[in-house]
Amino acid sequence: MCLAIPMKLVKIEGSKGIVELSGVKKEISLDLLKEVEIGDYLIIHAGFAIEKLNEEEAKKTLAVWEEIAEIQKQ
């Protein structure tokens, strides 16, 4: 029971927010998060944001492997 997807926060209205993924928008609850800002990527599960995505870490994962792939190419 863990289907959750990163979606971008585009609007905040009190404890509710509007999130978007490639043109699909949905109102969700922000009750489980402390601080959020517009533009944050949130992990959405069953109508709630359960965590904020750490964009620095996201880039790291891919960068490491892309680097390895690059080195092997050379």
Partner 1 sequence: MKKTEIKNRKILLSHGSGGIAMSSLIKELMLDKFDNPILRLLTDSAVLKSTGEKNLCFTTDSYVVNPLFFPGGDIGTLAVNGTVNDLSVMGAKPLYISCSFILEEGLDWEILDKITTSMAKAARSARVQIVTGDTKVVEKGSADKAFINTSGVGILQKGLTLSKKKIKPGDKIIINGEIGSHGLAVMSKRENFKTNIKSDCAPLWELIESMLIVGGIKFMRDPTRGGVATVLCEIAEISGFGIKIDERKLPIHENVYSFSEILGLDPLYVANEGKVIAVTNKDKAAFILSKMKKHALGKEASIIGEITKENKGKVVLETIVGGERIVDRLVGDQLPRIC
Partner 2 sequence: MKYITEYRNKNLSKKIADKTNDYLKDYKGKISLMEVCGTHTHSIFHSGIMSLLSDKIEHLSGPGCPVCVTPNEYIDTAIAYSRLPEVIITTFGDMIKVPGSSSSLEKEKANGAKVKIVYSPLESLEIARKNPGKKVVFLGVGFETTAPLVASTILRANEEKLKNFFVLSGHKLIPPAMQSLLESGEIKIDGFICPGHVSAIIGETPYQPIVDKYGIPSVIIGFEPIDLLEGIEMLVRQIVEKDKSKVENQYKRVVRREGNKKALSLMNKVFDIKDSPWRGLGLLPKSGLYIKKAYSEFDAEKKINVKVEKTKTHPQCICGQVLCGTKKPFECTLFSKICTPESPIGPCMVSSEGTCAAYYKFKKQ
User: Which chain residues interact with partner 2 by CB under 8 A?
Assistant: 1-6, 8, 21-22, 28-29, 31-34, 41, 43, 45-48, 50-51, 53-55, 57-58, 60-62, 65-66, 68-69, 72
Q: What does the block give as tokens for 36? A: 């959020």
68 contact choice in partner 2, partner 1, none (CB below 5 to 8 Å, kind-dependent): partner 2
Place of tokens 């620095």: 56
Place of tokens 């709630």: 48
| 34 φ/ψ sector (left φ>0, alpha ψ -120 to 50, else beta) | alpha
State the minimum distance, in angstroms, from the CB of residue 13 to partner 2.
14
